């Protein structure tokens, strides 16, 4: 089947591009001397995770326990649950840890550390824990300059029922950058802060086996990871219009898109409507700090994924998207286009299956996992 025979809207994965993206990241991690533990929340797809981990040790990163369970059931046995664990979920996490090699948990608060310790003690086991560090994003994690950070390190390291694995951070603020050079500066700050904090803790006599960092922009930009042991990028297998906007990739690297059909054209107003709306593309307009007129994704051609000149995706309703611009005159009802979403992690989560392409031929169908 050729791509234009598919029913729209649907999710497309370019396998040649995905494999190239995965290979480049795996080779860069090896070159920089770190382990690659890819974040699978971008795609939530077992087949893609196997491609990502092919050249490394097989560990992955997840955002939900549902992801962890699904990937564990398919043979992944070293998993980092990369959000601070809610105390109500610790028992479930401990159950899964008992079934696999390791489910690593995150902590950034003394109450969570206490809850993990109590549950591990009641089970007469040890639970692996990483301390999350805020390296500037301001979302979660401890400020390494505070007494709380020192206290938590001691609490975790001295516990009889916690296996303290080390430090973890995520430079989410790299997404606020406007250029690759700004991303590079943030990447260096992320690395330097974590290396310095790990050295400070080791000077106190506490072993820090793991120093884990990474986002797609920072790992794409960085050229030295001295004192870092592990990286956890995720979006790099797909990329998206946001990564294009901040210089993390080229348009020919983008491996995920949404196929849509033009259903209405009004050349007098330079407007057209496609059958892909918020439930296919999400309402994310996050690259506005780089391009205020970015709209809701990048319209590209079906066959070679070149940007369609003059077209902007200016509005979305639940099931429809509005295109505007001088390029509308070339469209007709029934014309197929692709849209590169602003955020492929959100857009891909709108679909229960991915149509996998080699070139423009559909060669497979993959189903992502669902649930929280």
CA torsion, points 47, 80, 279, 289, in degrees to nearest 10?
-120
The whole-number pLDDT of residue 196 equals 98
Banded model confidence at residue 166, pLDDT cuts 50, 70, 90: very high
Mean pLDDT of 257-265: 98
The whole-number pLDDT of residue 286 equals 85
For residue 371, pLDDT beyond 80: no
The whole-number pLDDT of residue 370 equals 80
Q: 90-99 and 65-73 are packed helices; what angle lies between their axes, rounded to 10 degrees?
A: 10
Cα 25 from Cα 20, distance rounded (Å): 9
The helix or strand, by DSSP H or E, that contains position 115, with its residue range, turns out to be helix 110-123
Query: 301-346 pLDDT, tens per residue?
Result: 999 899 999 999 999 999 999 999 998 999 999 999 999 999 999 9
Domains annotated on the chain, with CATH: 3-10+248-366 (2.40.37.20), 33-237 (3.20.20.10)
Mean pLDDT of 289-299: 94
Mean pLDDT of 122-140: 96
For residue 32, pLDDT beyond 80: yes
Say if CB 300 and CB 310 are below 8 A apart. no
For residue 117, pLDDT beyond 80: yes
Comparing C-alpha atoms, which of 262, 273, 183, 191 is closest to residue 220? 183
**Beta strands, E only, the chain:** 10-14, 35-36, 60-62, 78-84, 102-107, 127-133, 162-169, 210-213, 230-231, 256-266, 271-274, 297-300, 312-316, 321-324, 336-341, 354-358, 361-366
Query: 38-81 pLDDT, tens per residue?
Result: 999 999 999 999 999 998 999 999 999 999 999 999 999 999 99
Distance of CA 67 to the CA centre of its chain: 13
- Based on C-alpha coordinates, what's the Rg of the chain? 22
The whole-number pLDDT of residue 372 equals 66
Say if CB 265 and CB 278 are below 8 A apart. no
């Amino acid at each position: 089947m050729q791509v234009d025979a598919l029913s729209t809207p649907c999710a497309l994965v370019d396998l040649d591009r995905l494999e190239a993206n995965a290979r480049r990241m795996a080779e860069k991690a090896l070159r920089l001397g770190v382990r690659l533990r890819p974040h699978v929340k971008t795609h939530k797809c077992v087949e893609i995770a196997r491609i990502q981990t092919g050249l490394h040790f097989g560990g992955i990163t997840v955002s939900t326990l549902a992801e962890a369970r699904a990937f564990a059931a398919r043979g992944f046995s070293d998993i980092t649950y990369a959000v601070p664990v809610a105390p109500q979920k610790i028992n479930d996490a401990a159950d899964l840890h008992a079934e696999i090699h390791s489910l690593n948990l995150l902590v950034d608060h003394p109450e969570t550390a206490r809850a993990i310790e109590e549950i591990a003690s009641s089970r007469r086991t040890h639970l692996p824990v990483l301390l999350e560090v805020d390296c500037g994003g301001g979302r979660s994690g401890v400020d390494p300059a505070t007494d709380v950070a020192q206290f938590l390190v001691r609490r975790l390291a001295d516990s009889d029922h916690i296996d303290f694995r080390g430090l973890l951070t995520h430079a989410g603020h790299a997404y606020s950058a406007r250029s690759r050079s700004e991303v590079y500066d943030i990447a260096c700050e992320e690395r330097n802060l974590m290396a310095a904090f790990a050295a400070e803790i080791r000077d106190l006599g506490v072993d820090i086996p793991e120093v884990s960092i990474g986002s797609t922009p920072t790992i794409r930009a960085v050229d030295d990871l001295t004192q870092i042991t592990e990286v956890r990028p995720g979006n790099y297998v797909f990329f998206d219009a946001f990564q294009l906007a901040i210089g993390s990739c080229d348009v020919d690297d983008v491996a995920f898109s949404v196929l849509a059909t033009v259903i209405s054209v009004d050349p007098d107003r330079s407007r057209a409507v496609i059958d892909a709306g918020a439930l296919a593309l999400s309402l994310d307009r996050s690259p506005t700090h780089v391009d205020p007129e970015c709209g809701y994704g990048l319209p590209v051609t079906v066959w070679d994924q070149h940007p369609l000149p003059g077209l902007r995706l200016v509005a979305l309703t639940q099931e429809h998207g509005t295109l505007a611009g001088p390029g509308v005159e070339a469209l007709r009802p029934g014309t197929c286009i692709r849209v590169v979403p602003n955020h492929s992690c959100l857009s891909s989560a709108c679909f229960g299956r991915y149509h996998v392409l080699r070139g423009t031929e559909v060669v497979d169908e993959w189903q992502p996992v669902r649930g929280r």
